[in-house]
Chain A
Amino acid sequence: MEKPSLTYLKELSNGNSTFEMKIFKILIEELPEEYNAYQNAIRTKNFYWAADIVHKIKQKVAFFQMHASVSISEEHESSLRSGKLKYQSDFQEIVTKILKFLPEHYD
């Protein structure tokens, strides 16, 4: 599976480390919360809510330039909107990978 990349952030910031840290801080705060909410939504079979959360997380996946993972997230979102759980484990693997990656790159 593809790895998260900071290329987009680095190009965007053009060396502005304050901006980079600001974005990292938001991601570190938000992603675990969103993932917990997603797991709750799945547990309670609230698939529409889960799809909305996947939509939010998908933007973060795209931020890390994980193109194939964005497509998987899209498929998972769409599947949830039809009340199905297709690509659930793939999606969970993607998020887990980003969650592990974030603290390793945040000073």
Chain B
Amino acid sequence: MNCIIIDDERVSREILAFLCSRETNWEVTGTFSNAMEAFIFLNKEKVDLIFLDIHMPGFTGFDFVQTLKNPPHIILTSSDRNSAIEAFEYESIIDYLSKPIDQVRFKKAIKKAEKLINSTGNSSEGENPTKTGEHQFYINIDKRLININTSEVNFIEAKGDYVLIKLDKEEYRVHTTLSKIIEKLPVDIFFKVHRSYVINLKKIIDIQDNTILIQKSVIPISRSKRAELMGKLNLI
């Protein structure tokens, strides 16, 4: 089983990592001083447990939990005695450790996590998150991390320094490149039909000549991409 530690306090990170190192069933796969770094990691790797500090500059532990779509088990840590009450509002939060962390209390919390993971058979071991489970990625808009489930994306359009991510009802403008965003998408579902467009093949309504209709948008197909696109479709 693996876990990560998110805490802006270096001493706290070291203490938690030290306590985890004594647990034979556990491996610390990452320690992070801020939520943003942890988000990037969680987008690539599956973890069984997060030790999460509530009080971090600019972003509380509760903000972090709310942003996670499928959060793993979480053990909150805090030096504030009054934060525990709010923790009960979140199903993913399984325990709460007050700082400085007591060894006996730590042991009890991590055993609780083990028991929960074993009972659901939901360990990260032997699993590759890029091939199994739901595909998702995070975009950063106005200091807000938004979780995008790729199955909800209709298409993505490059617009200068930005890309537009089009969903059924929403549209997000992100400062990135099309090639960077393609790296985050499942190759069997998304296809670059034009230098400025990547489409979700499952969202195609119809194809006519050199255009594709997705929802109400008409998307051009490059001449060089047409044959490859046809090969990806389940034609009768």
Tell yes or no: B63 within 8 A of A by CB. Answer: no
Among residues of B, the one whose C-beta sits closest to the C-beta of A16 is B18
Tell yes or no: A59 within 8 A of B by CB. Answer: yes
Evaluate contact between A55 and B14: CB separation under 8 angstroms: no
Instruction: List residues 181-219 of chain B with CB under 8 A from any CB of chain A.
Output: none
Evaluate contact between A12 and B79: CB separation under 8 angstroms: no
Interface locus among A21-29, A80-88, A90-98: A21-29
CB within 8 Å of B: which residues of A? 8, 11-13, 16, 19, 22-23, 26-27, 30, 52, 55-56, 58-60, 62-63
Number of B residues, CB within 8 Å of A: 15
Among residues of A, the one whose C-beta sits closest to the C-beta of B81 is A74
Measured between beta carbons, the chain B residues less than 8 angstroms from A30 are: 10-11
CB within 8 Å of A: which residues of B? 8-12, 14-15, 18-19, 55, 57, 79, 99-100, 103
Contacts A22-B14, A56-B9, A62-B99 supplied; 17 other A-B pairs, CB < 8 Å: A8-B100, A11-B103, A12-B18, A13-B18, A19-B14, A19-B18, A23-B11, A26-B10, A26-B14, A52-B57, A55-B55, A55-B79, A56-B8, A58-B79, A59-B12, A59-B99, A60-B11
Give Cα A54 to B55, complex, Å. 12
Evaluate contact between A59 and B11: CB separation under 8 angstroms: yes
Evaluate contact between B100 and A26: CB separation under 8 angstroms: no
Measured between beta carbons, the chain A residues less than 8 angstroms from B11 are: 23, 26-27, 30, 59-60, 63
A15 to chain B, nearest CB (A): 13
Give Cα A62 to B97, complex, Å. 14
Evaluate contact between B15 and A12: CB separation under 8 angstroms: yes
Give Cα A67 to B159, complex, Å. 57
Measured between beta carbons, the chain B residues less than 8 angstroms from A58 are: 79
Among residues of A, the one whose C-beta sits closest to the C-beta of B18 is A19
Measured between beta carbons, the chain A residues less than 8 angstroms from B15 are: 12, 23
Give Cα A54 to B79, complex, Å. 12
Evaluate contact between B103 and A12: CB separation under 8 angstroms: yes
Evaluate contact between B100 and A62: CB separation under 8 angstroms: yes
Q: 30 A–B contact pairs at CB < 8 A?
A: A11-B103, A12-B15, A12-B18, A12-B19, A13-B18, A16-B18, A19-B14, A19-B18, A22-B14, A23-B11, A23-B14, A23-B15, A26-B14, A27-B11, A30-B10, A52-B57, A55-B55, A56-B8, A58-B79, A59-B11, A59-B12, A59-B79, A59-B99, A59-B100, A60-B11, A62-B79, A62-B99, A62-B100, A63-B11, A63-B100
Measured between beta carbons, the chain A residues less than 8 angstroms from B100 are: 8, 59, 62-63
